[in-house]
Structure 1
């Protein structure tokens, strides 16, 4: 009797139906990725590197999703922000996010780090990472960038859980943070406060939101540390605070109150220049009271 290899390689219907269905799956080929695309990095992130649960409905968690870079949103002193669209391949769900990518210290323009780092957890003295930081080696620069990224990630998660108006943090992968892309009512990226010209009523509302945000931040134990009209977004009539890697611990950092006072003066000055009578010292007093 002649052996038929194809017949022996293909189980009959009865055998196929007896397979454990946990080991049966459909295979759907997908197109090769184009320039500016990558597979979603969600699946490779550890639980603590994903945003607080419950995840918003717009967060795409499909392992087969594709990330497409749509362009630069802004450049900053320590990082650049890009717009990334994450698309699930089989159900047409998409989410546009802000991808903040930290540079190493050779490519940053924000060098006054020491005052912000006081009171923070640092690599163990004498350890490999501490030595690399001290030497400024390539590994040390990578460690420094990772520390700043993780510091911002922790603050975003903490402040989101506290109900403060920050972008929802989706995930962190190395020195890249993916977060909610804050948009105006037309779906366009929200402008910075510095680029807006609010009327008197909206100006009053934004000042009250700013007061609530600064006091809420202080109640969590932090000052922004570098607050100005350039790192506040206006999404319609809603104020959102961004850029938090240098957030200062009000207790552990000896200059914590100094940073908080400077934040209050900076933003109050912007409002005063537009005719608002908000007082920096009163704002500072509210924040200090909330902190203690």
Structure 2
């Protein structure tokens, strides 16, 4: 998925992780995505840049697209990151410059590693179900892996952790001994949590990780904080477990990982290490070199926005 902001601000990214447990509720902002989809952008925000290596979180829907085209995101580039596509309702057709063509469905992992350079498009299939609801997330690649060969993975069979009233699908990394088949380049976890009405459970965590919870549906108490759909609660580090309580059926995404210590710059759809690298990537995309071509999408590629008038400088996680 693309950042379609036509005037993207340079985002100085780093974990600046809290040393202990916190409960910071992060506001989102509405952003247009393609022709008819509006997303709630929750990360990066003014209060939080990253959670582990997770550097970008969009939540969208549930939207009634029965009489609409649904998601339509033209070909666009990525650099230095992984995209994680996760659906609760609907389908997304993925095409990329490697020739990948795959329809991602609910509770299936669509994982694209951009590495040194890739381009892709995302769209609702012509024949699609009436609802669209999901999340799109990015993971920053560490320096030693950020120029790996680009590749796309699709995993329909993911491990599940269960407890009384809880079903957790492990999307990325490891949770309670269950390991996702998705390729991860940093210590990380991403899980989709479904809670039944009346559930009260404690989810085991890694104390050295920092965490956040994204509310997808219903209403859930996360460590005593009531979360409504489309909200993100940053939880900090130092937790060995997380109390969850649901009065009605609800859904959450748990995101976490070791605080990302490297200095990076995120601008538009690129994660780099310097302003010069970002400028060079933009020039390559605009000149039609370096990112390949996406074939089969009915529409023109996205042009890159103009670079900001201020220097793009990398910074670390400590402000």
The TM-score by the shorter chain falls in which range? under 0.3
More helix by percentage: 1
TM-score norm. by structure 1 comes to 0.28
Higher relative contact order (CA closer than 8 Å, sequence separation 6+): 2
More strand by percentage: 2
Which structure has the larger Rg over C-alpha atoms? 1
